Amino acid sequence: MAGHSKWKNIQRRKNAQDAKRGKIFMKLAKEIFVAAKQGGGDPDTNASLRLVIDKAKANNMPNDNIERAIKKATGDLDGVNYEEMTYEGYGPGGVAVMVSALTDNKNRTAAEIRHAFNKNGGNLGENGCVSFMFDRKGYLVIPKDSTDLDEDDLMLEVIEAGAEEMETTDEGYEIFTEPEEFTNVKEQLQEKGFTFSVAELTMIPQTTSPLSGDDVHKMLQLIDVLEDNEDVQEVYHNLEADEEVMNQM
């Protein structure tokens, strides 16, 4: 995967933003709602729902919240209907940006996202304008302190489970899979006793866009504004910035 050697830089920024989201339970409830609406409310037969529930539990979402979202989707409780939307555009310096949203009002969400781009040095484009720059992948991270296996032995386990490749970082082992193999790889590794600090389907940029100076600040502001929107589930981008500059920001 060309360009994913810079993924750690991008992912670290994303994780820092996730940690400060005050609306994360609402976003997770929407994801659970859509997964249950599309594939049924039983996580044993709905892999997408099972994945979102795992994500919700990893974020300490109460079981009552999870069950309420499922019941709304299956008609046991009254609730609104959410529609999945994807928005694409460019941030400062031409950084590619994709925004995944769940909304009950497309006009409102589109207007808010367009305003966020315009106000922070970017511009919203047409669907397809940047999506070709990203690959959808399963992404798992095994923390180094959670396993006694050395890199070579772990690599064999990962390959045997069906993963595409593995990279070693200072913090852990990053595992990449094809989307359709993600759940199978995750479950096989869990059965062998491995735990994950990250386990998600995501969009990984094929190449990155280096930024410096004020453009980095503007781009981070754009990400903050987008992620703070209650309809936005994920923001994907290909920003590459010096780590020292990122830490200062």
pLDDT of 88 above 70: yes
Write out the two tokens for 110.
């589109």
What is the per-residue pLDDT across 167-217, written as a single tens digit (0 to 9) for each?
A: 998 889 999 999 999 999 999 999 999 999 888 899 999 999 998 888 988
Please give the pLDDT value at position 23. Answer: 74
How high is the mean pLDDT of the chain?
87
Q: Is 98 exposed, middle or buried (0-12, 13-18, 19+ CB in 10 A)?
A: buried
Angle at 209 between CA 207 and CA 211, to 5 degrees: 155
Q: Going by CATH, does the domain composed of 134-205 fall within 3.30.420.40? A: no
Residues facing residue 172 across a β-bridge = 143
- Topology of domain 83-132+206-243 in CATH is Alpha-Beta Plaits (3.30.70)
What is the per-residue pLDDT across 34-80, written as a single tens digit (0 to 9) for each?
A: 898 888 999 999 988 999 999 888 888 889 888 988 888 887 656 67
Q: Which residue has the tokens 């100076």?
A: 213
Please give the pLDDT value at position 238. Answer: 94
Could you tell me which residues come within 8 angstroms of residue 106 by beta carbon, excluding any fewer than 6 positions away?
83, 85
Q: Which residue has the tokens 């529930």?
A: 53
Domain boundaries, the chain: 83-132+206-243, 134-205
Identical fold, 83-132+206-243 and 134-205: yes
Question: Could you give phi then psi for residue 101, rounded to 5 degrees?
Answer: -135, 155
Q: In 3-state terms, what secondary structure has residue 16? A: helix
Helix, strand, coil percent values for the chain (each to nearest 5): 50, 20, 30
Q: Which residue has the tokens 């529609």?
A: 83
End-to-end CA distance of the chain: give it in Å, rounded.
28
Please give the pLDDT value at position 1. Answer: 45
